[in-house]
Chains A and B, each alone.
Chain A
Amino acid sequence: MSTILNLNKKLIAKEVGAVELVESYFEKITNSAFVTVTKKQALNAAQQAQKFLDEGKATLLTGVPAALKDNICTNSIKTTCSSKMLEDFIPPYDAAVVEKLKAQSYILIGKTAMKEFGAAEKPGESGAAAVVSDGICTYAISSDSCGSMAGEAAFHGLTALVPSYGRVSRYGLVAFSSSLDRLGVFANTAEDCSIVLNAISGRDERDVNTKNAQPVTLSKTHSLEGITIALPKEFFDGMSTAELKILSETAKVCEKMGAKLLEYNGFSVSRDYAKAACMVLSSVEAASNLSRYDGIKYGFRGQGDSYEEIVINSRSHGFGDYIKCRIMLGNFAVSSDNFDSFYQKALAVRQQVRKEYAAAFEKAQIILSPHSLSAASCLAGLPTISFADKQNQIGRTLSGNLFDEQTIITAASLIQKETLI
């Protein structure tokens, strides 16, 4: 398994050249996880990266092959969101994350396939996770709205970091559900996730919800002393024996490293309603965000003799069935007849979920949960790191308080070093 750190060492030591490395990666591409493969750009970028390396200006990400989910805008490179609606769309701008990665002379191998427009993915549907899992890229920038990245991490045995809402600029991320959308990282280790996080986070005036944050630093100690990990009873109830086993083991490892374990009660709303609320809110916002695709300005245009006909045909044929369902669901939930009984209720759940987490963080710094219950942390915009080993596809998710990526990444990294690697 090649991590960012390994590759960086090899590049610095000149065991391998940047161009040579990139070429070897392109030889590996066999699957259909990519929508667009950017070989030409990658080779040019590799030459630039080699210059950085030779001049001693390289960072940890310089020359390291990466992938971007295809809802992240790339200047002059197609950004399709895996939708017929945008199958030929070439943005004239880079997303903020792309600007930041370019500044470090990263290597873009390609844009990865996704569930159309980023509607919740079932494990195995994310091209971004697949290419990291297959070793075609060392890491991938993906996005998450309702917790799908945790599921992918479990499915592929990867590490997925979803940072706090507002830590990474969404400028240039094609919006699905604005209040839930977050850019995250698939990588092989928590440590690699922290490297990418440090590269892409920070205040961006174009995304007014962003804030600056201290970079994450991983110390060399092997201790979780002073950390309390909450084990919410509500989340553990109803888990399968296999899941329970993995989570208990994880808890024990943490305890061994000095963490205090806390049996916790107080997540009943998060357990019972978070998933449904996430579905309602993301659908409402998606219906709104996706209404701009009318076939007039750009993207797929359907036939028609009038504006109405063009819009109807563009949207009928440009969107796939599932995304159309979500649009209908969203419009239904926010229509004046249903606003109070669906949308308002979902907002109330979100409020309640935030309260449940806030109360828990009074007593603990980390909340341990199975990967399948990520919707709650998504509603609260909390940072999560999920990881699994390749064999059993059972993920653990560590959630931290807002902007406290430091604690969960440190813990995840220590657990990984202790158990997986």
Chain B
Amino acid sequence: MKYLPTMGLEIHAELTTKSKLFCNCKVGFGGEPNSRCCPGCSGFPGMLPALNQRAVEYIIIAGHIMNCSISRFTKWERKHYFYPDLPAAFQTSQLARPVCLNGKVVIATQNGEKTIRINRIHLEEDAGKLIHELSPYYSLADYNRCSIPLIEIVTEPDFHTADEVSAFIEEVRRMLQYAGICDGKMEQGSLRCDVNISLASPTSTKLGTRTEIKNLNSVRSATKAIEAEIERQTDILESGGRVFQQTLRFNEAHNETTPMRTKENAHDYRYFTDPDIPPLILSESELERIFADIPEMPRKRLERYIGYGISETDAEILLADKRVSDFFENATAHYDNPKAISAFIIVELLRRVNLGEANIEELPFGADQFAKLIEMGATGKISRSHMKDVLREMLSSGNTPEAISEQMGFIIKEDLDAVNTILDKILSENPDVAAQYRNGEHKVFGFLMGKANKALKGVAAPNVIKNCLEKKLS
């Protein structure tokens, strides 16, 4: 018997605002514990929250790119629970009036495009981190992450396979990165997700009891957790048992989902409107201003790249990493030959990156110099095979492609006299072939070109040789 899984997702994404949601502390990752916190985000008495307007702009952007309607009236609630990483013992979040409602995101699946509905996106603050490793007797709290602005994206239960879930996470991550509002670094916890799963028997349209797996911090672990949970629920149902509604965590080492403490399952968060944060009324003109500045989304870029004549596969490779795509954009701004630039990025630059010889974030040259290199290759200033050598040298020295080519003797000198002398020699050595061509057998041109190219390597570019040869034969 095969059960149909139905899944919904909650994605938590940290926003890359400069400062935290309610105070002026910097947003960042790593560093000394408790070096980015103040009395405000540490829950000291007498401190008050002042909402970071930039975070509000960011969630409006998130809502807009995910086709949500943006609420004109929005407010914040306090969600209460005791935990040492939550200094005020309440988290400021949004319950009744989230900023974004009813959106949709299109993902690519093996069976074509699929639309995932977004239920809501709201803005809340992150909690701190606990450090347990230093002692078996105590834990330490690090408040650096406290109050970092976080958006929670809640989908409708529109997923039926783990692949759809992973495609969605990837797509959302990419969209947020392209919008410039979240760095999407799952390994650093700036994007995390919870999945809820229920299985329906094939004979029934009714959804089964739902469980929720919390805090999945990579696409891989989300996929594995889903598979493990589907298996667990299937086993229970097949043996005639009952699935209980509960919150689970995924144990990656054992590849199994295990229940969290029941206390957390039966919590009354005592939500009520935060009296310190006035509700926000958003005007049409404000929204228009924010929408106007939203960068192009990856799916739009994809269409544009395909329009340049780049294959869909290649375009997806460029788009997979925003930094690569941005580098491509910059390079094409300097030299308008997207196909040549894309090809060389994919074949050569990314190869160097994958080999660990280059870091896309810290290239020793700018996109303008890269564009110059492509231009030199395409216009015959240097040969294609030399382009690779020049790139490698650019990566190690940071010098300009012109200087490197000059130094290494790669510049093709267009000495037409030399070309003509050699061509004359070739034609005189092959009088029959020349005669054949002149009699209309044009296919022999390739034979002559091959000889010429070989003899003139490094003297002139192939297109120059071709022009000269054609002139001589006509």
Given contacts A174-B45, A288-B270, contact A179 B275 (CB under 8 A): yes
A293 vs chain B, min Cβ distance (A): 8
**B44 surroundings in chain A (CB, below 8 A):** 91, 93, 297-298
**CB-based contact B45/A79 at 8 Å:** yes
Given contacts A292-B89, A297-B43, A298-B44, contact A206 B50 (CB under 8 A): yes
B78, closest chain A residue (CB): A288
Q: 0/1 per residue, B41-83, Cβ < 8 Å to A? A: 0111111111100000000000000000000000000101011
Tell me, in angstroms, the Cα distance from A284 to B141 when the chains sit together.
28
> Cα distance A335–B88 when bound, in Å?
18
The answer on a CB contact under 8 Å between B275 and A285 is yes
Report how far A294 CA is from B268 CA in the complex, Å: 18
The residue among B46, B47, B83 with the most chain A CB atoms within 10 A of its own CB is: B46
Given contacts A209-B278, A288-B80, A296-B84, contact A174 B272 (CB under 8 A): no
Minimal Cβ-Cβ distance residue in B for A92: B39
Closest to B130 in A: A307
For residue B45, which residue of chain A has the nearest CB?
A: A174
Per-position contact with A for B108-151: 1 when CB-CB < 8 Å, else 0? 00000000000000000000000000000001010000000000
B87 contacts A by Cβ under 8 Å? yes
A343 within 8 A of partner (CB) = yes
B88 contacts across to A, CB distance below 8 A: 291-292
A residues within 8 A CB of B278? Answer: 208-209
Find chain B residues with CB under 8 A from A112 CB.
none
Q: What residues on A are CB-neighbors of B294 within 8 Å?
A: none
Taking a contact as CB atoms under 8 Å apart, the answer to whether A307 and B84 are in contact is yes
Chain A residues positioned under 8 Å from B50 (CB to CB): 205-206, 208
Q: Within 8 Å of chain B (Cβ to Cβ): is A190?
A: no
**Which chain B positions have C-beta within 8 A of A308?**
82
Considering the chains assembled together, what is the distance between the CA atoms of A179 and B39 in angstroms?
21
Given the interface pairs A208-B48, A291-B82, A343-B272, the reply to whether A93 lies near B39 with Cβ below 8 Å is yes
> Interface stretch among A165-173, A194-202, A351-359?
A165-173
B420 to chain A, nearest CB (A): 79
List B contacts of A291 (CB < 8 A). Answer: 80, 82, 88-90
Query: 0/1 per residue, A173-186, Cβ < 8 Å to B?
Result: 11101110000000
Is A294's CB under 8 angstroms from B89's CB?
A: yes
- A209 near B276 with CB under 8 A, answer yes
From B45, B48, B82, B276, contact of A86 by CB (8 A): B45
Is A334's CB within 8 Å of the partner chain B?
A: yes
Contact status A91-B48, CB under 8 Å: no
Q: Is the interface of A mostly helix, strand, loop or mixed?
A: loop
Closest A residue to B270 by beta carbon equals A334
Q: How large is the interface on B (under 10, 10 to 19, 20 to 34, 35 or more residues)?
A: 20 to 34
A288 to chain B: which residues have CB within 8 Å? 78, 80, 90, 270, 272
Q: How far is the CA of A124 from the CA of B82 in the complex (A)?
A: 35
A133 close to chain B: CB less than 8 A: no
How far is B86's CA from A297's CA once the two chains are assembled, in angstroms? Answer: 11
* Residues on A with beta carbons closer than 8 Å to the beta carbon of B46: 71-73, 79, 91, 93, 95, 170-175
CB neighbours of A334 from chain B (8 A): 270-272
**Closest chain B residue to A330 by CB distance?**
B270
**Residues of the A chain whose Cβ atoms lie less than 8 Å from the Cβ of B82:** 291, 294, 307-308, 311
B448 lies within 8 A of chain A by Cβ: no
Q: How far is the CA of A209 from the CA of B82 in the complex (A)?
A: 27
- For B276, give its contact among A71, A73, A172, A178 (CB under 8 Å): A178
* Given contact pairs A208-B49, A291-B89, A307-B84, a sample of 18 additional A-B residue pairs in the complex whose CB atoms are under 8 Å apart: A72-B46, A79-B46, A91-B46, A93-B39, A171-B48, A174-B45, A177-B275, A178-B276, A209-B276, A209-B278, A284-B272, A291-B80, A292-B87, A294-B84, A297-B43, A297-B44, A308-B82, A311-B82
Q: 17 A-B contacts, Cβ less than 8 Å apart? A: A72-B46, A91-B45, A93-B44, A172-B47, A178-B276, A179-B275, A205-B50, A206-B50, A208-B276, A208-B277, A208-B278, A209-B276, A296-B84, A297-B42, A307-B139, A308-B82, A334-B270
- Residues of A near any B CB (own CB < 8 A): 71-73, 79, 81, 86, 89, 91-93, 95, 170-175, 177-179, 205-209, 284-285, 287-288, 291-292, 294, 296-298, 307-308, 311, 331, 334-336, 339, 343
